[in-house]
Chain A
Amino acid sequence: MELKTRFNAFGKKVYIINIKKKIHINSFIAWQSELCNSIQNNFEDIIEDVVFSLSEITLFFKEIPNDNDKKQIILWLRNFSVKKQNIKRNLWEIPVCFDPIYSQDILNYFENNSIAYKTYILNFLKCTFQVHHYGFLPGFFYSTGLPTKLNLPRKATPLKLIEPGTLAIGESYVGIYPQKSPGGWHRIGKTYYSFFNRLNDPPCFALPGDKIKFSSINLDEYQKQNDKIQYSKKLPNSTSFEIIC
């Protein structure tokens, strides 16, 4: 593992560290998420939150940390990195309706060229995605796995309102809006599964490192299932797999 021992200050109680481990990126995500859980459990007296993204781990300290606190964490990180980990994760199958009413943004992006639009959706359906990290809203995950040629830029001006269940693309990320919210990503489809339910424990079923495959359903099927499932606790179909790293 490559570990930058430098803590980059971000305000006074927040520090950014960069961590690299020589394993495949797909395993790295699950590994990094286990690492964050572990940091939080082991340092709960001094750390109130740990967040990670593609490029960094951010530590939120309860109070301004002293040198000793930082040293202790770096030592602990080194030990964690050499231990072998067996991590269980799931592959989720998510049905999505790609009808033009839900994928208007893609059609607009290709200036109503229906061939380019259809090709884009077909290529999108071939991908398997991986949940990377949560952010933006409760239950909103950023997933990776979109080939570079399918990347779409963020909109210059975000939309004021996006409906829950909307599947959208922002640069190389794919995500599903868990609640009504403003958003600057391109909408490609809609699912009836809810990725955040405050009455479930845990409230979000998809873990960083989980894989996601989308399947296409038509508008009729979407509406039929939407009435049935939207407010239930039902989870999508899944198969489990193990990551050793």
Chain B
Amino acid sequence: MIKFSIPKNYQIQHHLKSSVKIIDPGFYTSIQDNGRYGYRRVGFPVSGPMDKFSFTTANKLVGNFNNEPALESTFKGPKLLFSGPSWVAVSGAIIPVHKNDRIIELNKPFFCDLGDILELGSVKKGVRSYISFGGGIFQNKVFGSYSQYYPITKNATIIKGENISLKGSTSLLKHKKFHFKINNLRFDQKLEVFEGPYWKCLDNELKKIILNIEFKIGSNDRMAYRLTGSLPKNKISSPSAPVLPGTVQLTPNGDLIIVMRDGQVTGGYPRILQLTEKSQSHLSQFMTGKSINFKIIENDISH
């Protein structure tokens, strides 16, 4: 006979079901967890939070140490009505947050209960905000993940009038004593990169230009960031090959495309650089028009 014990707080956590109603979804708000893995071979993007660091911070603040699904909003945040109790935290972009009429500080857990209205305004600095709930969002996983991505999930974003169930863990006691450092968002323009598989095939002149000029952010979304600089046109072609979030590709026009979380799993342009995880988070808080440059850091020694 196999014996196992149920943690003491198990019952409590799962009886306190709660939910939020979406009064206004904001500009582009989706449910994101760590991502959808194991399906790249049928072309599924990994999805997950664009700014993983703020997402993790928001989760830790409400005691979710395993990164539970949270809401990711873009520019303008959502307005939510609570139909039960939950600990909540907001991290990421600098954005006004109100609970009913009270101002709420970013990066600090607060409690919401039946009838409370949480409203995020428009970003003052940065792009993406993360709203976490104690215990996380309670939904069915689709292909192993809660992350929204159409057509894998029914919708690409949360929609007006929708009810989102929460796991509703109301206990923060265990984690109150746990301290961790919250780094402020950085807005300097340097992005750290590793050399990509194609880097060593570029001629030295082009490498030098890439590392010395500024690039301006053009159109961007959860799939990719397009950057323009003053790179010459080129005729480099490379066979379609796997790409991942953070891969910098060089197009024949001399523009760069950086693959992001909902980006494709293979790409047909040469993969010249690879952003570190930190720099991916960093970039995802930048909007169109911002200038950036690249700095190569030592790659892992390969064996």
Name the contact of A16 in the complex, choosing from B38, B46, B197 (C-beta under 8 A). Answer: B197
| A56 at interface by CB-CB < 8 Å | yes
Residue in chain B with minimal CB distance to A204: B42
Are A11 and B253 also in contact (CB < 8 A) when A134-B265, A142-B266 are? no
Residue in chain A with minimal CB distance to B266: A135
**Cα-based distance from A138 to B142 in the complex (angstroms):** 13
**Cα-based distance from A109 to B276 in the complex (angstroms):** 40
| B3 at interface by CB-CB < 8 Å | no
Say which one of B8-16, B237-245, B285-293 lies at the interface with A: B237-245
Across the interface, do B299 and A196 meet the contact criterion of CB distance under 8 Å?
no
By a CB distance below 8 angstroms, the chain A residues around B239 are 53-55
**Cα-based distance from A233 to B163 in the complex (angstroms):** 29
By a CB distance below 8 angstroms, the chain A residues around B244 are 10-11, 14, 60
Interface residues of B in 207-250 (CB under 8 A from A): 237, 239-242, 244, 246
By a CB distance below 8 angstroms, the chain A residues around B171 are none
Say which one of A1-9, A75-83, A214-222, A237-245 lies at the interface with B: A1-9
By a CB distance below 8 angstroms, the chain B residues around A141 are 43
| B152 at interface by CB-CB < 8 Å | yes
By a CB distance below 8 angstroms, the chain A residues around B43 are 134-141, 196, 204
Across the interface, do A49 and B41 meet the contact criterion of CB distance under 8 Å?
yes
Are A8 and B302 also in contact (CB < 8 A) when A51-B242, A55-B239, A56-B242 are? yes
Across the interface, do A53 and B300 meet the contact criterion of CB distance under 8 Å?
no
* Category for how many chain B residues contact A: 35 or more
Name the contact of A135 in the complex, choosing from B237, B240, B276 (C-beta under 8 A). Answer: B240
Across the interface, do B268 and A170 meet the contact criterion of CB distance under 8 Å?
yes
Across the interface, do A53 and B266 meet the contact criterion of CB distance under 8 Å?
yes
Residue in chain B with minimal CB distance to A49: B40
Interface residues of B in 135-161 (CB under 8 A from A): 142-143, 150-153
Tell me the minimal C-beta distance from B136 to chain A in angstroms.
Answer: 20
Tell me the minimal C-beta distance from A141 to chain B in angstroms.
Answer: 8
Name the contact of A54 in the complex, choosing from B42, B44, B45, B240 (C-beta under 8 A). Answer: B240
**Cα-based distance from A6 to B274 in the complex (angstroms):** 19
Cβ contacts B122-145/A at 8 Å (1 or 0 each): 000000000000000000001100
**Cα-based distance from A67 to B303 in the complex (angstroms):** 8
**Cα-based distance from A64 to B302 in the complex (angstroms):** 12
Interface residues of B in 166-181 (CB under 8 A from A): none
Across the interface, do B152 and A138 meet the contact criterion of CB distance under 8 Å?
yes
Tell me the minimal C-beta distance from B145 to chain A in angstroms.
Answer: 12
Tell me the minimal C-beta distance from B251 to chain A in angstroms.
Answer: 8
**Cα-based distance from A156 to B255 in the complex (angstroms):** 11
By a CB distance below 8 angstroms, the chain B residues around A139 are 42-43
Residue in chain B with minimal CB distance to A67: B303
Residue in chain B with minimal CB distance to A55: B239
Across the interface, do A9 and B194 meet the contact criterion of CB distance under 8 Å?
yes
Apart from A11-B244, A50-B41, list 12 A-B contacts with CB within 8 A.
A6-B302, A10-B271, A48-B37, A49-B40, A56-B242, A58-B242, A60-B40, A134-B41, A156-B253, A179-B151, A196-B151, A198-B151
Q: List 11 A-B contacts (CB under 8 A).
A: A10-B194, A11-B194, A36-B41, A49-B39, A53-B241, A133-B266, A134-B265, A135-B264, A173-B240, A179-B151, A203-B152
Residues of A near any B CB (own CB < 8 A): 6-12, 14-16, 33, 36, 40, 48-56, 58, 60, 64, 67, 70, 133-142, 154, 156-157, 170-171, 173, 178-179, 184, 196, 198, 202-204
